[in-house]
A and B are shown apart, each in its own frame.
Chain A
Amino acid sequence: MYKIEHLSKSFDKGRIEANKDISFEIQEGEIFGFLGPNGAGKTTLIKQMIGLLKPDKGNIHFYDVDVLKNPQTLTSFVGYMPQKIGALRDLSVKEALEITGKLKGCKSGEVKKEVASLIEEFGLKKVEKSLLKNLSGGQSRLVAFCTCLIGNPRIIFLDEPTNDIDPVIRKLIWEKILYVNKQQRVTVVLVTHNVIEAEKILEKVAVINDAQIQYIGTVNDFKHMVSYELKATIEFSNDFENIQEICHRTDYDFHFIDNHQCSVFVKNEAELRTIMDTILYKAGFNAIEKFNLSFPTLEDAYVSLFKKEGK
């Protein structure tokens, strides 16, 4: 669906490199996520993909369309959720959604139905007559998300879709993203820092750092890259003051959340047994209060990747 080849983009006369020789593909129906630290070049990359920024080098194809030559072609197929929709700030929520649908070429009747359904679904009824400029940050982002869905796009680009949004609506947004992807075959491209929530829906990820792609592949493969198979979360009893010292004396990398809680990644059962034996031997059987074993999450993989890089 999307093919990006050797894309490079710099700002400030080449002094700031935002994207450096980036190549990848997005297949139809995928839920594709860009992860990476702030300023890594994620937003710059998606803005080039949808024709809002002109790359210095490289090619972007949406099916057989050269996006650099014909960015206008994308308007029929792409929904984009910007950080804010200032252009409509003086319209009410209902007006903004309806006018977006009409400008996207939908029939008036269809738009009214779609808008009414989105307003209902996301609990916007109370603010439907409020001007966008008077909404809270979270409500504005929710309206931006709704404008992105209007007009049956084939692919949606979501830039931090759940920032500033309360947990109930956040859940609704993730469910809606999953719904449009599974039921309407809408391809989803998202930039997010909310790795824990995104993990539930992401299929493929690209980790961007220092303007380059550090990893690209499925979420599962990415998690295996961590080179750990199990994550042990241990809660120690309050009586043991020197527990951190005992743990750090082992050859394993313990991450302490506070004085008594930590997690450690292990490759296999044998390693886990070694760790447990050491702790129990040195601190005694009463040292461990709680113990939990889980598979590494996307967040673990992400943190581990950046730790390796020394970031």
Chain B
Amino acid sequence: MRNTISNGKVMMARKSLFQRIQIAISNYFHLVFIRWANIRNEWYFHFLMTPLIPIGLIVFLKFAGAVRTPAEALYVTAGNTIMSLIIGPMQSMSNDLALNKERRDFDFLALLPISRLQLILAYTTVSTIFTIPGMLITLFIGKLWFGFPMEFNIFVPVIMLLSALSMVGLGVMIGVNSKSIHHANIVNAIITALVTFMSPVLVQENHLPEFLRYLSKLFPTTYSAKAFRLALNGDIGRDMYLNLLILLGFTVAFLFIAVKKIDWRSN
């Protein structure tokens, strides 16, 4: 099944779809292991840190009197959760790749028969694994404290996973194109500020200035937060499916650009 050279010609082995899937899955798990190894000695720290900011923000909003009704509480809690799910893996991806680039790790990785998508998915898996439990804790703390209705259905984890992946492609673009990890951090901070305050994630859509309501349509966070709130409310219908579909579109588009259109080779 290995590629060979015969009579001065490179002969690529023909692999069935099943074999290709098998190799892709196997490579994916090996790459997950490599990424997991980076944090295996301090994993609990990452696990504890992720819910800290969303929970802290909820507590602050509660004491500041910004959250008065259970509906508002659900809005803020769900928005917070989605923000962490989207921004966390994006930042992690861009920082990882910027660091890889700085350390010239691509010199080694690029000469392995692995695909960029496998690498992206493996890196995202590790950052998401540490984000999702923290986010679930945030949701349950929010529910217990504010008493808002919350329905846990199959769409909740689907939206969480899709949200985690939605801006990872953008994270790749930042990581690959940044000059250093510090540069990547600055760009990440700008993007985080943009999506936090310019889309209806923490602030309700009707409280946003009119131009931001239009501008927010360009950010996947808008659709992710909407779909997530609808799913948590048990409001599964056309509106939720539409938001989910747009979120999927963003995910695929960013990943496509990151995998196919960006030149990862450094200069």
Pair A80/B30 contact, Cβ less than 8 Å: no
Q: Nearest A residue to B114 by beta-carbon distance?
A: A103
In the complex, the answer to whether B27 meets A74 with C-beta atoms within 8 Å is no
Closest to B12 in A: A73
Q: Which A residues are CB-close (under 8 A) to B113?
A: 72, 75-76, 103-105
**B144 interface contact, C-beta 8 A:** no
Residues in B whose Cβ lies below 8 Å from that of A74: 111
Please state if B26 and A102 are interface contacts (CB–CB under 8 Å): yes
Taking a contact as CB atoms under 8 Å apart, the answer to whether B10 and A64 are in contact is yes
Q: Is there an interface contact between B110 and A52, defined as CB atoms closer than 8 Å?
A: yes
Q: Which of A54, A82, A87 contacts B34 (CB 8 A)?
A: A87
Known contacts: A63-B10, A80-B111, A104-B112. The answer to whether A90 contacts B40 by CB under 8 A is: yes
Enumerate B75-93 residues with CB–CB distance to A below 8 Å: none
CB of B265 within 8 A of CB of A53, answer: yes
Pairwise interchain contact B37-A95, C-beta atoms closer than 8 A: yes
Please report which residues of chain B, range 85-120, place their CB below 8 angstroms from some CB of chain A when the two chains form the complex: 100, 103-114
| Contact of B263 with A by CB under 8 A | yes
User: Interface segment, B1-9, B164-172, B181-189, B232-240?
Assistant: B1-9
Interface size on B, residues (CB 8 A): 35
Bound: A53/B5 CA distance, A: 24
Report how far A62 CA is from B111 CA in the complex, Å: 14
**Which residues of chain B come closer than 8 Å to A50, judged between CB atoms?**
111
Judge if A212 is at the interface, Cβ distance under 8 Å.
Answer: no
A91 at the interface (CB under 8 A from B): yes
Q: Are A52 and B107 in contact (CB under 8 A)?
A: yes
Contacts of B112 in A (CB 8 A): 75, 100, 103-104
In the complex, whether B140 has a CB less than 8 A from a CB of chain A is no
Known: A52-B265, A54-B265, A105-B2. A85 touches B108 (CB 8 A): yes
B263: which of A54, A73, A102 is its contact (CB, 8 Å)?
A: A54
Instruction: Tally chain A residues at the interface, Cβ within 8 Å.
Output: 39
Question: A20 interface residue, CB < 8 Å from B?
Answer: no
B23 CB, nearest partner CB in chain A, Å: 7
Residues of A within 8 A of B103 (CB): 84, 86-87
Complex: A73 Cα to B3 Cα, angstroms: 9
Instruction: Indicate if the CB atoms of B110 and A11 lie closer than 8 Å.
Output: no
Determine the distance from Cα of A154 to Cα of B2 in the docked complex, in whole angstroms: 12
Minimum Cβ distance to chain A for residue B50 (Å): 20
Bound Cα distance A170, B148 (Å): 69
A77 at the interface (CB under 8 A from B): yes
User: A74 CA to B110 CA in the complex, in Å?
Assistant: 10
* Closest B residue, CB atoms, query A11: B267
- The reply to whether the CB of B204 lies closer than 8 angstroms to some CB of chain A is no
Answer whether A105 and B30 are a contact pair too, CB < 8 Å, given A72-B113, A88-B108: no
Q: CA separation between A44 and B110, bound complex, in Å? A: 15
Contact status B104-A86, CB under 8 Å: yes
Q: Does B197 contact A (CB under 8 A)?
A: no
Docked Cα-Cα span, A82 to B109, in Å, equals: 11
Shortest A169–chain B CB gap in Å is 21
A234–B263 CA distance with the chains assembled, in angstroms: 58
The docked-state distance in angstroms from the alpha carbon of A147 to that of B34 is 15
B145 in contact (CB, < 8 A): no
Whole-angstrom CA separation of A65 from B8 in the bound complex: 10
Bound-state CA distance A74–B212 (Å) is 48
Smallest CB–CB gap between A142 and chain B, Å? 15
Q: Is B33 an interface residue (CB 8 A)?
A: yes
Q: In the complex, A309→B12 CA distance in Å?
A: 46
| CB of B136, distance to nearest CB on chain A (Å) | 27
Assess the A76–B114 pair: CB atoms within 8 A: no
Residues of chain A lying within 8 A (CB to CB) of residue B111: 50-52, 74-75, 78-80
Contact A83 B10 (CB under 8 A): no
Across-interface contacts of B12 in A (CB, < 8 A): 73, 76
CA distance A52 to B110 in the complex (A): 7
Q: Which A residues are in CB contact (< 8 Å) with B23?
A: 105
- What are 16 A-to-B residue pairs whose CB atoms are below 8 Å? A47-B107, A52-B266, A53-B266, A62-B10, A64-B10, A75-B113, A76-B2, A76-B12, A78-B111, A84-B103, A84-B104, A85-B105, A95-B37, A102-B26, A103-B114, A147-B108
A sample of 15 more A-B contacts (CB under 8 A), given A52-B265, A91-B37, A105-B113, is A47-B107, A52-B107, A65-B10, A72-B113, A73-B12, A80-B111, A86-B103, A87-B34, A87-B105, A88-B108, A90-B40, A99-B33, A103-B31, A103-B112, A105-B23
| B-binding residues in A (CB < 8 A) | 11, 47, 50-54, 62-65, 71-80, 82-88, 90-91, 95, 99-100, 102-105, 147, 154
